[in-house]
Amino acid sequence: MYGGAPASRWLQLYAEIFDTVEVNATFYRLPTEKAVRRWVESTPVGFTFAVKASRYLTHVKRLRDLPDGIARMMDPLRPLLEAGKLGPILWQLPATFHRDDERLASALDALPDGRHCFEFRHPSWFADEVYDVLERHDVAVVVGDSPERPFQPWRLTANWTYVRFHYGRRGRNGNYSRAEIGEWSKRIRDTGVDAWAYFNNDWNAYAVANARLLRRLLGYQDGTDVAERR
């Protein structure tokens, strides 16, 4: 995709095509504030970063005792906040984490200002009572598209939505077919709300090609000014 460009320029080149990126590295370890400032400097006005919450909070602590952990997680992200480039924070729960209404409610009460979304990976979470508490906090349910988790429905619990495309069903080797992406573009358009969508099938550059096609089908062109589209 980058024609042999050094890694130090990848984000800058990526931002010439797309207007947002999902940062997965923050799941494994917190970035330095210096690194986050480079993110800000490498991207244009209007570019946004969706940040995956630390696995220490979601997989180790399992949403217990969040306030201190959230403070540590948010501290190095201050340059994104100051620049208006912080998008949603993604809270991905492990597949072994069964529904716990009390713990979820406590976690939602501890969330800082901003957009948050939860990706549940155990089927017990997909229940009306869970949707209700998310709606009260304007927190989105992540639509995680994967044949491994067919129980994940399309459900709006906020005035925006978040879609993660993990693995195409009708393309080859996890690639999404044009027909699949066309169907998803219609779903996204029909919601009538702000949608954040990311492709994680990044082998063989499928994610890049799939994301560019989705953008075109939604009427966006590469390089169009972000402010004109939002």
Segment 84-102, tens digit of pLDDT: 999 999 999 999 999 999 9
Is 149 domain-assigned?
yes
- Interval 108-167: pLDDT, tens: 999 999 999 999 999 999 999 999 999 999 999 999 988 888 878 889 999 999 999 987
Structural domain including 193 reads: 7-220
Is 96 domain-assigned?
yes
Of residues 92, 155, 162, the one with CA closest to residue 127: 155
pLDDT at residue 227, rounded to an integer: 33
Is 106 domain-assigned?
yes
Can you spell out the DSSP letters for the chain?
--TT--GGGHHHHHTTT-SEEEE-GGGTSPPPHHHHHHHHHTS-TT-EEEEEPPHIIIIISTTSSHHHHHHHHHGGGHHHHHHT-EEEEEEEPPTT----HHHHHHHHHHPPSS-EEEE--SGGG-SHHHHHHHHHTT-EEEEEE-TT-TT------SSEEEEEE---SSSGGGPPPHHHHHHHHHHHHHH-SEEEEEE---GGGHHHHHHHHHHHHTT--TT--HHHH-
Is 95 domain-assigned?
yes
* Sequence-separated (6 or more) residues with CB below 8 Å from residue 78: 33, 36
Is 205 domain-assigned?
yes
Find the CATH number of the domain harbouring 104: 3.20.20.410
Number of folded domains in the chain? 1
Residue 2 in this model has a pLDDT that exceeds 60: no
Q: Give the global pTM.
A: 0.90
Q: What is the torsion angle, in degrees rounded to the nearest 10, for the CA atoms of residue 15, residue 80, residue 162 and residue 166?
A: 60
Is 226 domain-assigned?
no
Is 48 domain-assigned?
yes
Is 228 domain-assigned?
no
